[in-house]
A and B are shown apart, each in its own frame.
Chain A
Amino acid sequence: MTYLAKPKLHHPDLPKNAVGFTRRDYEGRISTLCAGCGHDSISAAIIQACWESDIEPHRVAKLSGIGCSSKTPDYFLGNSHGFNSVHGRMPSVATGANLANRDLLYLGVSGDGDSASIGIGQFAHCMRRGVNMVYIVENNGVYGLTKGQFSATADKGSKSKRGIANSDEPIDMVGLAMQLGASFVARSFSGDKNQLVPLVKAAIEHRGAAFIDVVSPCVAFNNHSGSTKSYDYVREHNAAVNRLDFITGREEITADYEPGTVTIVTQHDGSKLRLRKLAHDYDATDRIKVMNLLQQSAAAGEVMTGLLYVDAESSDLHEHLNTIETPLNRLGERELCPGSVALEKINAALR
């Protein structure tokens, strides 16, 4: 981190997006994380994605649990409301917040300790309920703030900085999300901005639980040789299955592609995801095939990245509950209270 304050002045001609904001308007406070932390790159990708997607910053609610990753919502979208809640419990807070006002964009940021260890239960139920949110796990396999203990995503056999090997099986968040019914599942690497920014943009457009597992090396405790979550390891073993190039809003975007290498996935609202295939025959809409491939690539020691699965016909919790279009937090006595006449009838039925 740096102790130097960020200058507030900026060039008057900074480019603005369609809703009238400069990229600077999407920034937050100066990060207090270690220099070189993967998490800061993810924050930058979120800033870029929100700006490019023309999201009004104050219409985003940022939610997190506890840990290094959970601190990051302070470092982007400074004018948005943020909620740094309880360790491992961000999903329930996000669920409640989402129920109260379906009009905001919910961005949950969590870590592997927060979501795979203490909060695995809430992560699971949030996915299976289909809470309409972007759920990013900044995954480094280690507890940073408490100085280097293994988390539940640390690979079996990977070594801590002190040289101790992890003997427990790792939890694969992507596999778990697939199993639990998440309708958008992606994995990326904090060091690959070109891949990550479009993934965040696509997740924003997605209706339902959109999960992105971002391998994000911890420079302080998990970037040594022997770690499977280090910059070097991920760069060497990254197997991207596709590149997400465009997410169009409503209009068709034409681009030059070799026939046969592009898949277009049309989502419920008409938006289109253009997937440029890298792996031959990869079909991101076939749940069972994806699950099989995930197992195979894990067995081969690869880190499979890209938009791994998307359900174009996804739905969300509000749809399941059949809630009214007006956000619940905008309803008052007139809409909610049945009044004294109805109460008198209730009384009469209880006699």
Chain B
Amino acid sequence: MAKRVEAVNDFVIKFANVNGSGSASANELFARSILRMGVPVAPRNIFPSNIQGLPTWYEVRVTETGYQGRRGGVDLMVAMNPQTWDADVKEIDEGGYLFYDNTKPLPKSKFRPDINVIGMPLTEICNSTYTDPRQRQLFKNIIYVGALSALMEIDPNEIERLFSEQYKGKEALLQSNVKALRLGRDYAQQHLGGPIGLKVRRADNVGHKIFIDGNSAAALGALYGGATVCAWYPITPSSSLAEAFIKYCQKYRVDPATGKSKFAIVQAEDELASIGMVIGAGWNGARAFTATSGPGISLMTEFIGLAYFAEIPAVIVDVQRGGPSTGMPTRTQQSDITACAYASHGDTKHVLLFPEDPTECFEFTAKAFDLAERLQTPIFMMTDLDIGMNTRLCAPFEWDDKATYDRGKIMTAEMLEAGRDFGRYLDVDGDGIPFRTYPGTHPDRGGYFTRGTTKNRYAGYSETGPDYIDNVQRLLRKFETAKKLVPAPLLYPAERPARFGAIFFGSTSPAMQEALHVLADRGIHVNALRVRAFPFQDEINDFVASHPWVFVIEQNRDAQLKSLLVNEAKVNPSRLLSVLHYDGTPITARFIVEQISQHAAARTVVPLKKVVS
């Protein structure tokens, strides 16, 4: 008899399904029902680059403490895909549970003695209940949700309430789903021998938090941030961002009087065209953005250099995935940092923002438009598949109605008429940012020729060295100005004096927060700093300087943020220790804890430098 994992509100359940079988909505229903019981969940899609037929998984971490990172390990596997059976069974933790369809008997060798096996004849139940093959498939998913709810003591009323919200006004659908759910519950209660050791108990830990994916949140940020032009080209994992923007615009941006759209969205022919349209619109005074992923960034780089050098606002959301080349298109990484920071030929550098979750996707995307227009340059929102395509429990969105859009330094017809000196590339107040005019402003003043070639302060064509240097030095001053405008890093101080520092960013955040707690419990105290933007502020240098060792945790092979820190913030590289996770799965607290613990153990002695100084 295998031992039984016993856990309340703290376990991991993984659904192994076939892509295109309708499992996604059933699995999300399962996750939401737990949320409705006041227990936080952190779900993750693990899906292939495929439409139908390949394996797909949905992993739900039930976490009363609210940790949103991936935990690692599996306590209950819902094994619905024969294709991946062996690997799925192998992944279950000792004492864990295997839930499967036992309509067809499997040989004993297909199981493990150290896990608890629950078989339910799902296919048989469906075949005897439904005649339509599609229904047999779809309701199988709901039936197993029903069975699981009984086995884990999830309140069925919460699931039925979710049905009634989802199928409002669609009575037939509502009834058939409720029927399937009850079918599963009844069977489990009568035949599966009572609840298992994994239980969901009502709690009050969800509060006002919201449950949304980062791509939708970023789209909402663009809506609130005043984006009117969106040009995009479909690419996983960013497509759902543009599609969410379309949906929100149709709801909130159609003029009620005329039925006309206060937005223009173009699905371009490629990423070159999408960034070209964004730059054309930005040049002409509209707030414009594109959403893409690594390969799209590669294609856009020539244009990005033009926007940097000609000083045109643009917002680029990079939902990062595994590279290089087609890489791992449906897996996550933070591996476009270098590519975006220095996108294009010649000397360029760009402003990057690193949101940690959907809440910051909303906030930073909205802010990106202010930054782009204030700084007159491309702004990169560096999110990734883990944030973008997974529903995350996060703080609700907030908006200050008194806030106005910062349109930056615009010289108006009135200012020109009053005789203000207009030099398109003239730094009038030392911040490196010149004034610009919108095309069509004034009959004979303020017109200029925009080009990617060198120019003087008055936008006149010039290939002379001094004009070039004057211009590119001003661009550096502008980049300094950006430091004051981008989100500052956030410090998470250890509760006890700490020898170690840790720098992390973006989607690593939830796993990192959890790791810090676990490490502290083990007596390893770490001060942590979450970098939220590039260019790096001085606090980052100070942080590194005040610790003998600083871990830099990233989800890429080449320690790209570390390189950028050394290169741009001029921090001492010998103090930096990389913790790198890049297999395409989201980083876990377990991984971070293990890596930091090993490094810490190897550095229990006080460094020589400290002793002598």
Contacts and interface: CB of A to CB of B under 8 A. Distances in A.
A94 to B, nearest CB: 6
Interface stretch (B119-127, B391-399, B598-606): B391-399
B210 A92 contact: no
Chain A CB within 10 Å, residue with most, of B263, B264, B447: B264
Q: Chain B, interface size: which category?
A: 35 or more
A57 B442 CA distance: 10
A98 B229 CA distance: 10
A340 B279 contact: no
A61 B285 CA distance: 13
B453 interface: yes
A343 B270 contact: no
**Main DSSP-derived SS at the B contact region:** loop
B260 A101 contact: no
Contact of B264 (A81, A82, A91, A328): A328
8 contacts: A84-B452, A85-B452, A92-B275, A92-B280, A98-B280, A324-B255, A336-B226, A346-B397
A85 B281 CA distance: 13
Q: Closest 10 CB pairs between A and B?
A: A96-B280, A92-B276, A100-B286, A96-B277, A329-B285, A81-B439, A100-B284, A93-B280, A96-B281, A350-B210
Nearest to B285: A329
A172 B165 CA distance: 58
B279 A329 contact: no
A96 B262 contact: no
A328 B440 contact: no
Nearest to A334: B404
Contact of B276 (A61, A104, A122): A122
Chain A CB within 10 Å, residue with most, of B223, B265, B398, B439: B439
A45 to B, nearest CB: 20
A89 B276 contact: yes
A328 B443 contact: no
Interface of B: 206, 208-212, 220, 223-224, 226, 228-229, 231, 252-253, 255, 258-266, 268-270, 272-286, 288, 302-303, 306, 396-401, 403-405, 437-444, 447-453, 461
A1 B518 CA distance: 74
Contacts of B275: 92
B393 to A, nearest CB: 10
Given A92-B276, A96-B278, A346-B220, A324 B284 contact: no
A175 interface: no
Contacts of A85: 276, 279-280, 306, 450, 452
Given A61-B439, A74-B449, A328-B262, 17 more contacts: A25-B444, A58-B444, A83-B449, A84-B450, A85-B452, A89-B273, A93-B279, A96-B281, A97-B280, A99-B229, A99-B280, A100-B229, A101-B284, A122-B272, A129-B266, A324-B260, A335-B262
A121 interface: yes
A153 B274 CA distance: 26
A350 B437 CA distance: 41
A100 B281 contact: yes
A86 B281 contact: no
A332 interface: yes
A125 interface: yes
Contacts of A226: none
A143 B392 CA distance: 54
A338 B276 contact: no
Given A85-B452, A96-B278, A342 B252 contact: yes
A323 interface: yes
Nearest to A32: B461
Contacts of A346: 220, 397
Interface string A6-47: 000000000000000000010000000000000000000000
B444 A79 contact: yes
B18 to A, nearest CB: 29
